[in-house]
Amino acid sequence: MHRALPCYVVLICLLLMAPIVIVVTLAFSGEGYLQFPPTSFSFHWFVRFLGDPQWQASLWYSLVIGVIACTIATVLGFFAAYAFVRSNLAGKKLLLSLLLLPIIVPTVITSIAMYFLAARLHLVGNLLWIGICHAVIALPVVLLILLSALQGVDLNLERAALSLGASRARLFLKVVVPLAAPGLISAALFAFLASFDELIISLFLTGVRAQTLPVRIWNSLHLEIEPTIAAVSAFLIGITALVLLVDGLLRGRRAATMNPQR
């Protein structure tokens, strides 16, 4: 019985990774159609992806919106997380649940409500507005990461800084932010990723002109399943892997700064 478990786990792990591995492999295949394993290797599909003006535009929109969403979510989330960790407010549990609402409400509903308002205000296709809407979805992720990171900052360090005459601004800039830096970077990366990968809100809010990468994939899928999509998907997977890698490296640093004493 106890040997069956590891076998099962290995099987499931293969099943979990297989689709991703297959997509990445297909992206590099030289064939004109989907064939696995591919008989030839080529960057052909990536060239088509990056050389196509429409895909380029989508990449650009995804990047811009991602940066906007990441910045807003990280900054607002940082201050909110600090407030949750350090203040004496009553009803923090309720307030935190409110901020987590965006991941509870089905995204379809959020999206059409956002679209309804955006259409009235002529904000459909407005990159800044889309970025802000993405920030609301990314905020819970940022909060969860930063709540943990800020709890690891010793309160006495902040007290020491204040007792030494530091203003609130200096306390944040010179003490809290540097100590929470690994968590901040992780939060920013995951916020960016959340926006970069986001599909449903983008479907409604990007309109015809400002399609992000996931939206363009969705539209292409309704036409035909061609390998360029595989290249785009592989690109998205690559971004995910990069974010996870950096976060993994940062975890080590996070643990180190929290425990300076022997």
Partner 1 sequence: MPPRDSPPKRNMLNRSALLMLPAFVMLAIVFLVPLGWFFAQTLFVNTDPTGLWSQITDVLTSRAMLQAIITTNWISLVVTATVLLMGYPIAYYLANRNGLRFTLVVFCIVVPYFTSIIVRTYSWMVLLGRTGLINHALQSAGMIDSPLPLLYNKTSIVIGMTYVLLPYMVLTLFAAMKSIDRNLLLAARGMGASGPMIFWRVYLPLSLHGVISGALIVFILSIGFFITPALMGGPSDVMVAMLIERSVEITLDWTSASVMSLFLLAVTLVLYAIYYRVTDVRRLMGA
Partner 2 sequence: MGSAVTQPPLSGSGKGALELDGIIKRYGDERVVDAVSATIRPGEFFSLLGPSGSGKTTTLMMIAGFVAPDGGAIRVDGADLTHVPPQRRGLGMVFQNYAIFPHLNVFENVAFPLRARHVAEAELRQRVTGALELVRLDRFAQRFARQLSGGQQQRVAIARAIVFHPSIVLMDEPLGALDKNLRYEMQVEIKDIQQRLGMTVVYVTHDQEEAMNMSDRIAIMNRGRIEQLGPPGEIYEHPTNEFVARFLGEANVIEGTLETVARDEALLRMRDGTALRARLGRNATPGRAASLFVRPEKLAFGAGGDGNTVTGTVRRRSFLGSMIRTVIEVGSGTHLTVDLANLGDGGGPEVGASVSVCWPVAHSMILLD
Q: Which is nearer to partner 1, 100 or 262 (CB)?
A: 100
CB of 249 to partner 2, least distance (A): 18
Cβ-proximal residues to 145 (8 Å cutoff; 6+ apart), any chain: 183, 186, 187, 190
Q: Which is nearer to partner 2, 47 or 160 (CB)?
A: 160
Q: Which does 166 bind (CB under 5 to 8 A by kind): partner 2, partner 1, none?
A: partner 2
H helices of 87-126, in order, are 92-104, 107-120
Report DSSP letters for 188-211, one per residue: HHHHHHHHHH--HHHHHHSTTT--
Q: Which does 116 bind (CB under 5 to 8 A by kind): partner 1, partner 2, none?
A: partner 1
Residue given tokens 């975890």 in the structure block: 251
> Among residue numbers 145 through 204, which ones bind partner 2 (CB under 8 A)?
154, 156-157, 159-168, 170-171, 174-175, 178-179
- The rounded distance, in Å, linking the Cα atoms of 107 and 192 is 18
SS3 29: strand
For residue 37, whether the previous peptide bond is cis, meaning omega lies within 30 degrees of 0, is yes
Q: Which is nearer to partner 1, 9 or 177 (CB)?
A: 9
CB of 47 to partner 1, least distance (A): 20
- The rounded distance, in Å, linking the Cα atoms of 35 and 130 is 37
CB of 24 to partner 1, least distance (A): 9
Q: Which is nearer to partner 1, 113 or 255 (CB)?
A: 113
Cβ-proximal residues to 9 (8 Å cutoff; 6+ apart), any chain: none
Q: Which does 173 bind (CB under 5 to 8 A by kind): partner 1, partner 2, none?
A: none
CB of 136 to partner 2, least distance (A): 32
Count of residues that interact with partner 2, criterion CB under 8 A = 25
SS3 41: strand
CB of 158 to partner 2, least distance (A): 9
Other Cβ atoms within 10 Å of 155 Cβ, number: 10
Binding positions for partner 2, rule: CB under 8 A? 154, 156-157, 159-168, 170-171, 174-175, 178-179, 256-257, 259-262
